[in-house]
Amino acid sequence: MSEKTLRSRYTLFAGLLFWLALCYFTAWLGSQVSPGIASGEWFESITKPSWNPPGWLFGPVWSTLYTLMGVAVWLVWKDYGFSGAQKAITFFLIQLFLNGLWSQIFFGMQEIGWAFLEILFLLTAIIITTVLFFKKNRIAGWLMVPYILWVSFASVLNGTLWWLN
Q: Which amino acid is at 5?
A: T
The separation between CA 143 and the C-alpha centre of its own chain, rounded to angstroms, equals 12
At 34 the pLDDT is: 76
pLDDT tens digits, the chain, 165 residues: what are they? 666 665 688 899 999 999 999 999 999 999 888 776 556 688 989 999 999 999 899 999 999 999 999 999 999 999 999 999 999 999 999 999 999 999 999 999 999 999 999 999 999 999 999 999 999 999 999 999 999 999 999 999 999 999 999
Domain assignment of residue 134, given as a range: 3-164
Number of structural domains in the chain: 1
CATH of the domain at 23: 1.20.1260.100
Interacting residues of 92 by C-beta distance below 8 A, sequence separation 6+: 69, 72, 73, 76, 129, 133
At 6 the pLDDT is: 57
CA–CA–CA angle 102, 93, 128 (5° rounding):
85
At 1 the pLDDT is: 64
8 A C-beta contact, residue 20 and residue 68 = no
Q: Which amino acid is at 102?
A: W
User: How does 58-85 read in b/e, with b if 16+ C-beta sit within 10 Å?
Assistant: eeeebeebbebbbbbbbbbbbeeeeeeb
